[in-house]
Amino acid sequence: MIELSPEDIREFQHIIREEYGMELSDEEAREQGTRLVQFAALICKSKSKK
């Protein structure tokens, strides 16, 4: 499983705040950020098989 560092979580919170005007708790940011990274990894893995 992918683990986000505290710095990664803060950066993700900052991006969401700047782009969408939403505040995420640390737990929300950790969960959503992890899902985003896992999704991106899945796409990259899928594209590399072609």
In DSSP notation, the chain reads: -----HHHHHHHHHHHHHHH-----HHHHHHHHHHHHHHHHHHHHHHHT-
User: Up-side HSE of residue 35: CA atoms within 13 Å toward CB?
Assistant: 5
Longest dimension (CA), the chain: 38
The tens digit of pLDDT for each residue in 9-50 reads 999 999 999 999 999 999 999 999 999 999 999 999 887 876
Quote the pTM value: 0.83
Please tell me the distance from the alpha carbon of residue 50 to that of residue 36, in angstroms, as a whole number: 22
- Contact call for residues 37 and 4 (beta carbons, < 8 A): yes
